[in-house]
Amino acid sequence: MIRPTSVIAIDGPAASGKSSTAQLVAEKLGFLHIDSGSLYRAATAAMLRAEKDASKWTEAAVLNAARPVELRAARTSFYPLLDGRAIEEEIRGPDVTRNVSRVAQMPRVRTWVNDKVRDAARSSDVVVDGRDMGTVVFPDADLKIFLVADSRERAARRLRQRGTPTSEQMLDDETIRINERDARDARQTVPAADAVVIDTTGLTQQDQVEQIVSLSKTRSG
Ligand code: DC
């Protein structure tokens, strides 16, 4: 019998550490990581290349612009390509970050992302991260995790990641930006009824990874 692939779904709000945690969990378990947000970002980057004025964007135009986006498997993760090229830097830039929530509200774009993610999960064991992986995309996931953290702590992590010196004012500003993004993404950022909620506010990344790996071993054993 063909063994169905395993899915670990990790959801949570912006800067809750989902993607980096999911990547490390995937590496520890020998699974592949899929960052579903990277596809919303890739569609946004593709649309920005076609039209800078986001107020003119329609769902049909975004879907058309996103046609050359594909999800490619590497050694430990899937990553998006646009016209056959890696676009990691472009999708993490401020223009994409400012406009991606708008694209993520479009129902047919959500279907496009969900189909791509489910396709990728057909051939490998995966750790997927996003907002609705445990609720909409993989309601039967083997393990569902929902990461939460205080918004000021998430802002501090974001600033630390950038590696530049920070002030209290910068921390205040980043906290406001994170709260605004939470509000924009609130509709799809809801834990599944059977998700394990982990508050990472006082946890190190290693603690989070170990908790999830040990939960996954308990489930599969
Ligand atoms: O996690 P992120 O910041 O890379 O996500 C980018 C955007 O995509 C953000 O607005 C939330 C949205 N998103 C979503 O709506 N559903 C997902 N499964 C993943 C991301």
Q: How far is the CA of 35 from the centre of ligand 1 (A)?
A: 9
Residue with tokens 């995309």: 137
Q: Is the CB of 126 under 6 A from ligand 1?
A: no
Protein residue with least CA distance to atom 6, ligand 1: 37
Domains of the chain with bracketed CATH? 7-204 (3.40.50.300)
Which residues of the chain are modeled with pLDDT < 50? 1
d(CA 185, CA 192): 16
**C-alpha distances in angstroms, 209 versus 22, 28, 34?**
8, 9, 16
> Can you give the pLDDT at residue 221?
65
> Can you give the pLDDT at residue 3?
52
d(CA 155, CA 102): 21
Q: Is the CB of 34 under 6 A from ligand 1?
A: no
d(CA 9, CA 142): 8
Residue 154 CB partners (closer than 8 Å, separation 6+)? 13, 14, 15, 16, 17, 178
The side-by-side arrangement of strands in the sheet containing 69-73 is 69-73, 78-82, 85-86
> Can you give the pLDDT at residue 135?
97
> Can you give the pLDDT at residue 165?
78
> Can you give the pLDDT at residue 1?
44
**C-alpha distances in angstroms, 22 versus 25, 147, 166?**
5, 11, 27
